């Protein structure tokens, strides 16, 4: 066992599995994925409640409700997909990246609709951080060493 990323764990029968332990950066990316999912859910709920502001027109209320519902659903989907990252699933990494890109686009639309919501900016920073961690450093090398797109 040369380093922690190449360690294999013994199974109950005494044999070793061929999987490697994920690097700490990937664990951070998974946690950021979960935090992004929770932040998306909360920001979508808050955005949907902002439709009740007295100065919003009927069209604005409709758009705000649709965007808020999409953000909540995206957050739920983000949480379910983030679990596949620790099993070195390339498809999970790509899907999480796509979901984070969609989240950033929806957050941009939410900022146009309601520019005074600071938590949306925090969500964009979280999403950008997660994408950066997923595609750089030891995390990128961890995914490059897997043989197929579906490993787990």
> What pLDDT, on the 0 to 100 scale, is given for residue 62?
92
Rounded to an integer, the average pLDDT of 49-58 is 87
CA distance 50 to 8: 50
| CB-based burial, 116-138: b 16+ in 10 Å, e otherwise | ebeebeebbebbebbbebbeeee
CA distance 87 to 109: 33
Find where tokens 């999970």 sit: 92
Whole-Å CA distances, 116 to 71, 75, 102, 109, 110: 17, 21, 21, 13, 10
The answer to whether residue 4 scores a pLDDT higher than 50 is no
Q: What angle do CA 110, 112, 118 make, to 5 degrees?
A: 60
The answer to whether residue 15 scores a pLDDT higher than 50 is no
CA distance 53 to 6: 55
> What pLDDT, on the 0 to 100 scale, is given for residue 69?
93
The answer to whether residue 17 scores a pLDDT higher than 80 is no
Contact at 8 Å (CB) between 20 and 139? no
Question: For the whole prediction, is pTM greater than 0.85?
Answer: no
Rounded to an integer, the average pLDDT of 50-55 is 87
């Amino acid at each position: 066992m040369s380093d922690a990323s190449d360690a294999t764990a013994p199974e109950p029968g005494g044999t070793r599995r061929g999987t490697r332990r994920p690097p700490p950066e990937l664990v951070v990316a998974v946690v950021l994925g979960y935090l992004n999912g929770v932040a998306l859910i909360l920001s979508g709920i808050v955005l949907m409640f902002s439709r009740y502001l007295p100065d919003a027109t009927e069209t604005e209320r409709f758009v705000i409700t649709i965007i808020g519902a999409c953000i909540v659903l995206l957050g739920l989907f983000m949480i379910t997909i983030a679990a596949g990252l620790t099993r070195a699933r390339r498809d999970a990494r790509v899907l999480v990246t796509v979901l984070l890109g969609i989240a950033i686009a929806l957050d941009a639309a939410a900022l146009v609709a309601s520019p005074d919501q600071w938590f949306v900016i925090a969500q964009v920073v979280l999403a950008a951080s997660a994408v950066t961690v997923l595609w750089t450093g030891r995390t990128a090398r961890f995914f490059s060493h897997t043989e197929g797109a579906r490993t787990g």
